[in-house]
Chain A
Amino acid sequence: MALTSLPFAIFAIITGIIYFVYPKKEQRWVILLIASCFFYLYNSFRYAAFIVVTILTIYFAAVKMDDISVETRKTVREKKAEWSKEEKKAFKDAAAGRKKKILALTLILNFGILFLLKYFNFMSGSIAALVGVSPESAPQIRLLLPLGISFYTFIATGYLIDVYRETVKPERNLFKFALFVSFFPQIIQGPISQYGKLHDQLIEPHDLEWINFKQGIMNITWGLFKKLVIADCSWKAIKAYYANGGINGSGDFAGYGGTMVLFITLLYALQLYTDFSGGIDISRGICRVLGIDLEVNFRQPYFSRSISEYWRRWHISLGAWMKNYVFYPIAMSEFSKRVTRAIASSSFGKTPVGKHISKVFMTAVASFIVFLFVGIWHGANSKYIAFGVWNGLIIMLSAMLGPVYAGSRKALHINENAAWWKLFQMLRTFVIVLVGYVFDIADNFTNAMQMMYLTLTDQNVGAFLSELPSLGMRKVEYLAVMCSAMLVLYISIRLEQTKIDTPAELLERRSGLIQWICLFGLIMLILLIGAYGPAYDPAEFVYMQF
């Protein structure tokens, strides 16, 4: 039941109707829980046990950790007069140790499941290859991935760490917690919601409000437009590129040249953005109708002026998760502080360069590790690891070479606020992003390197034009994708200028008639040029596979 399918639309409408007509408002969250359970079982019945294990282990671990905290505070309060400072500290440390053990065990279990299902086969094959054994003979787990496992594991573990850090109180109602983990609009491809931002909204009763309904529908329509008109039409060409064997060719086809590789990379950038952000728009739109404000996951990422900014605009919730639960723990760890101190106290650390390096070194290392994880999160393949390493390296180098860039800008008298400079930065960042995408498109690391080499050395427009028909798209389809992409670009510029999150909010500034006309026009465009129906091979959301 894909987000863009008719059965899902019917399911979502029925859920919405029951939710709003259910008379006992304080129990409306139960409707969402039942709908989420139905959705999960319908889509991933065979693997439902995995999400149940995650819900139960994290629920009980969180409750237990909270019990320990409460009990500790109570005991310390009661024994305030009797215990010495050292005794209190020892007692608190023992409690913290128990909490840490619970946290570690629960995280190991849940990430262990994720690792086993998602990465075991890759690791097993890689190790086998390293020791000279055929990867085919390495032990393999023959299971499909449970629906949304990366998303719900991160959502649930993030909550557990928050409870451990005592930044949130644990949910003591198992079913309410189950709803937070399995909430159907976000289970397929996120966002990776934070407990503090989502949980209360799910439990609070909501009434149907006109503004929510209108903006929700607009968001859903905009998401469908991006997904069905741009992403899925572009996917047709990308799929043909793969089917024809890419740069190596297959059968009688000799393989594509460098201009085509560049074109496919650009098309992939468009497809990936519209596919993922389109899916998020649909999810956010459904939530908006229900009165729930799901986190923003995209803020015009291709307008970023640096790669670190790009990752603050692309898949924002994953970036936030990595920052909270990977970056800070590494950057603020005792080890990092020791390394920083060691560099600062060395003779190198006394030099101007050394001073800078001592300040940013561990931050840069932490960033690198974060992006290595981001790459691994995307999938078990060397190309995703290379993708993570590439992004990590760029961010690491940017941090380390910051003063050099600043000095160069100053020497060249570049005005940082000049429009051309901003545009140059955007283009530069986009090119870096495209290089990362090449790893994504390629079959493996070697293939990615070949693609990049070809892009740099084999630019031939004539050959490209002769290869274009092999992508199986008609002229009218290219035109439709191009015009639609222009519309998305225009809306993105307007959103960027107005600092507004959604086109629906942008339209609020216009008259009612204009709003209706825009909605009608958008629906008509989807109906007319959208890639749906038996003439198209429906493409799953790209991020669903992660």
Chain B
Amino acid sequence: MPDNTDRKKINIRRTIAVITMVLALVGSVVFMEKFLCIPDSQALDQNRILMLHKEPKNTIDVLLIGSSATYSGFSSAYAYEKFGFTSYPYAIGGGTCTMWKPALQDTLRNQRPKLVVVDVFGGGYERELIESRSSQLYLIMNSFPLSAEKIRMAKEISQNVNNVSAASMVFPFIKCHSRVPINLLRLKERLETEKFGPSPLKGLETRTRTRQLAFVDDASFTEETKPLDEKTEGVVRDFLEYCKSENLKVLFVKYPTVLTQQDPDELLVNLKANRICEIAEEYGFTSLNMQKDFHKIGLKEREDYYNHGHTNIRGQKKVTGYLGSYIQKTLNIAPTELDDSVRAQWDQSVEYFHALDSLSEELIRQGKTESLGESPALAADVERIVNGESPAAVAEKYHG
């Protein structure tokens, strides 16, 4: 029989073992949740959000929230060059109106933008679609540190989206754990992204092609509206209330797309988007429907789009020029005084944008369709062009 001292030692050893085990498990889960839960298809979106949080505190003048139309339609570096204000797209492919508030809350942890630009398109979808899209929300929640605010957000989201539990929103690992073994192969890349930033690409994403005429452009802009379903309107109004309570200046925009009768869903989304602009105005917020100004912006259906819903880098420059001008002249958003190091970063981002533009043009010319988005690998390629290599040489590694 062990005496008391021995028993005490044994108990201490066992307690340490149990605590070590629990810590190892918790540590492993936290690590995997951070680096290995997000599917590859969302890696660029995840990088974009990650890089936003790498931006120096309170240096973003304009925050753009929305879906793929936002990141393909607006270039922060180009807007900075043209108008002097800093901006960043908090944009996730397929994002709906349920992501607006969590995305804004996530951003407000580090930034206090003078203007929030919201893409209304995400509020115009059918209710079933809005309720079924949860991966975008997991992406946002994965970025959000554990806090009472996160738990509150999770509860709210679980009421708006189907098949989502509040627990899995707080701990996305519960939902995404099955991806971890697959993502293990890309751990090195994910860790490199974590070390990278602030990024000179400023969240930009584009696809290197011009539009193939799969659709006939036979529909035009209309100011007609279509009512939102009750639940979606609730989500929109809740977001508007939140913006009011935070005393934020908000601009609702509709990015211009190529309209066609062959896509009645998209036409319906446009009618609902018009309704969202109406609702926003009830709260005293401004809206800008760029669909109406399609030709004024100078957009060309074939040249400036990579598909009927998204502008390529050519269209992106035109939309950025138009929207940037509106932000600067109509909304009077003045650029924040940046300190030298931050200004240097933004100046560098302009160089990177032009290099990326030339790379994109080269790839379009060569007929190589590539998704170019926020990642250390793309930044490295673009840097080669900045350092004097020709876009054609860099384009060689891309196969389309």
Query: Does B151 have its Cβ within 8 Å of any Cβ on chain A?
Result: no
A468-486 interface bits toward B, Cβ cutoff 8 Å, 1 = contact, 0 = none: 0000000011001000000
A530 / chain B contacts, CB cutoff of 8 Å: 177
State in angstroms the CA–CA spacing of A527 and B24 once bound together: 13
Provide the bound-state CA to CA distance between A6 and B171, in Å: 13
B14 and A210 within 8 A (CB): yes
A476–B177 touching, CB < 8 Å = no
Interface string of B112-133 (1 = CB under 8 A from A): 0000000000000000000000
* A520, A524, A533, A534: residue with the most chain B Cβ atoms closer than 10 Å: A534
> Is B174 an interface position by the 8 A CB rule?
yes
The interface residues of chain B lying within 8 Å CB-to-CB of A529 are 177-178, 181
A380 within 8 A of B: no
Report Cα–Cα, A530/B167, bound state, in Å.
Answer: 17
Q: Report yes or no: B164 in contact with A534, Cβ–Cβ below 8 A.
A: yes
Q: Closest A-chain residue to B169, C-beta based?
A: A534
Task: Give per-residue flags for A365-405: 1 if the beta carbon is below 8 A from chain B beta carbons, else 0.
Answer: 00000000000000000000000000000000000000000
Complex contact B181–A476 (CB within 8 A): yes
Tell me if A421 is interfacial: C-beta within 8 Å of chain B: no
**Do B25 and A523 touch across chains, with their CB atoms under 8 A apart?**
yes
Question: Are B21 and A512 touching (Cβ within 8 A)?
Answer: no
Bound complex: CA A210 to CA B32 (Å)? 31
In B281-324, which residues have CB < 8 Å from any A CB? none
Q: Is B24 a contact of A520 with CB atoms below 8 Å?
A: yes
B191 within 8 A of A: no
Asked whether, in the complex, the Cβ of B180 is within 8 Å of the Cβ of A528, the reply is: yes
A60 at the A/B interface (Cβ < 8 Å)?
Answer: no
- A528 CA / B165 CA spacing, docked (Å): 18
A62 contacts which chain B residues (CB < 8 A)? none
Is B165's CB under 8 angstroms from A524's CB? no
Taken together as a complex, chains A and B put the C-alpha atoms of A520 and B176 apart, in Å, by 20
User: CB < 8 Å: which of B24, B164, B175, B181 contacts A528?
Assistant: B181
A503-546 interface (Cβ within 8 A of B): 512, 516, 519-520, 523-524, 527-530, 532-535
B182 contacts the other chain (CB 8 A): yes
Interface string of B171-192 (1 = CB under 8 A from A): 0011111101110000000000
Instruction: Flag whether B168 is at the interface (Cβ < 8 A).
Output: yes
A534, B165: Cβ atoms under 8 Å? yes
Report how far A512 CA is from B24 CA in the complex, Å.
Answer: 16
A533 to B166, CA, bound (A): 11
**Total chain A interface residues with beta-carbon distance under 8 A:** 19
Nearest-Cβ distance from residue B106 to partner chain A, whole angstroms? 21
Question: For B25, B164, B182, which residue has the most chain A Cβ atoms within 10 angstroms?
Answer: B25
Across the interface, which residues of B come within 8 angstroms of A477, CB to CB?
178
- Chain A: which residue is nearest B167 at the CB level? A6
- Smallest CB–CB gap between B196 and chain A, Å? 27
CB of B377 within 8 A of chain A?
no
- Could you tell me the distance between the alpha carbons of A73 and B17 in the complex, rounded to whole angstroms? 59
Q: Are the C-beta atoms of A519 and B28 separated by less than 8 Å?
A: no
Say yes or no: A533 contacts B182, CB within 8 Å.
no
CB contacts (< 8 Å) of B14 on chain A: these are: 210
Please report the number of residue pairs spanning A and B whose Cβ atoms sit closer than 8 angstroms: 46
Q: Which of B21, B28, B163 contacts A534 (CB 8 A)?
A: B163
A480 (CB) vs chain B CBs: closest residue: B181
Which of A476, A480, A527, A533 gathers the greatest number of chain B CB atoms within 10 Å?
Answer: A533
Does B29 interact with chain A (Cβ within 8 Å)?
yes
In the complex, chain B residues whose CB is within 8 Å of the CB of A533: 165, 168, 174-175, 177
Task: Give the distance in Å from the alpha carbon of A528 to the alpha carbon of B37 in the complex.
Answer: 10
Contacts of B168 in A (CB 8 A): 533-534
Q: Nearest Cβ distance between residue B197 and chain A, in whole angstroms?
A: 28
Which bucket holds chain B's interface residue count?
A: 20 to 34
Specify the main secondary structure of chain B where it touches its partner: helix
Nearest CB of chain A from residue B186's CB, rounded to whole Å: 15
Q: Which of B14, B17, B175, B177 has the most A CB atoms < 10 Å from its CB?
A: B177
- In angstroms, how far is the closest chain B Cβ from the Cβ of A215? 14
Nearest-CB distance from B172 to chain A (Å)? 9
Report A-chain residues with C-beta under 8 Å of the C-beta of B28: 524
Q: Given A476-B181, A534-B165, are A520 and B174 neighbors across the interface (CB < 8 Å)? A: no
Within 8 A of A (CB), among B147-165: 163-165
Other-chain residue from B29, B167, B175 in contact with A527 (beta carbon distance below 8 A): B29
CA distance A534 to B32 in the complex (A): 18
Determine the distance from Cα of A527 to Cα of B164 in the docked complex, in whole angstroms: 18
CA distance A487 to B174 in the complex (A): 24
Does B21 contact A535, Cβ atoms closer than 8 Å? Answer: no
Give the residue of A476, A480, A516, A524 whose beta carbon is less than 8 angstroms from that of B17: A516
Q: Is the CB of B17 within 8 A of A512?
A: yes
Closest A residue to B181 by CB, please name it: A528
Contact A476 B175 (CB under 8 A): no
Contact A528 to B167, CB < 8 A, known contacts A210-B14, A523-B25: no
Check B174 against A534 for contact (C-beta < 8 Å). yes
Measured between alpha carbons, how far is A238 from B133 in the docked complex, in Å? 27
Tell me the minimal C-beta distance from A220 to chain B in angstroms: 14
Bound: A529/B179 CA distance, A: 9
| B323 → chain A closest CB, angstroms | 37
Closest Cβ of chain B to A521, distance in Å, is 11
Q: What distance in Å separates the Cβ of A288 from its nearest Cβ neighbour in chain B?
A: 17
Assembled-state Cα–Cα distance A447/B128 (Å): 37
* Residue of A210, A477, A527, A532 most packed against chain B (CB within 10 A): A527
Measured between alpha carbons, how far is A476 from B32 in the docked complex, in Å? 18
Whether the pair B177, A534 counts as a contact (CB closer than 8 A) is no
- With beta carbons under 8 angstroms apart, the residue of A520, A524, A528 that contacts B178 is A528
State A533–B170 Cα separation when bound (angstroms). 12
- Least CB distance from A523 to B in Å reads 6
In the complex, the chain A residue whose C-beta lies closest to that of B165 is A534
Q: Please name all residues of chain A whose beta carbon is closer than 8 Å to the beta carbon of B32 when the two chains form the complex.
A: 528
Chain B neighbourhood of A480, CB < 8 A: 181
Give A261-317 interface residues, CB cut-off 8 Å to B: none
Residues of chain A within 8 A (CB-CB) of B17 are 512, 516
Check A527/B21 contact, CB under 8 A, given A6-B167, A533-B168. no
Residue of B nearest to A6 (CB): B167
Give the docked Cα–Cα distance between A477 and B177 (Å). Answer: 13
Nearest A residue to B36, CB-CB: A528
The closest CB in chain B to the CB of A233 belongs to B178
Docked Cα-Cα span, A531 to B17, in Å, equals 28
B180 CB contacts on chain A under 8 angstroms: 528
B184's nearest neighbour on chain A, judged by CB, is A528
**Cα–Cα distance between A524 and B180 once the two chains are bound (Å):** 11
A10 to chain B, nearest CB (A): 12
B21: contacting residue among A476, A519, A528, A532, CB under 8 A: A519
Tell which of A512, A519, A520, A534 touches B175, judged by Cβ atoms closer than 8 Å: A534
Given the known A-B contacts A523-B25, A534-B164, are A528 and B174 also in contact in the complex, defined by CB atoms under 8 Å?
no
Bound complex: CA of A320 vs CA of B319, how far in Å?
78
Contact, CB under 8 Å: B177 / A528: yes
13 further A-B pairs in the complex, CB-CB below 8 A; given A533-B165, A535-B176:
A6-B167, A512-B17, A516-B21, A519-B21, A520-B21, A520-B25, A524-B28, A529-B177, A529-B181, A533-B168, A534-B165, A534-B174, A534-B175
Which 8 pairs across A and B sit closest by C-beta, in order of nearness? A533-B174, A533-B175, A534-B163, A534-B168, A528-B180, A534-B165, A534-B175, A533-B168
| Interface residue ranges, A against B (CB under 8 Å) | 6, 210, 476-477, 480, 512, 516, 519-520, 523-524, 527-530, 532-535
5 contacts between A and B (CB under 8 A): A528-B180, A533-B165, A533-B177, A534-B164, A535-B175
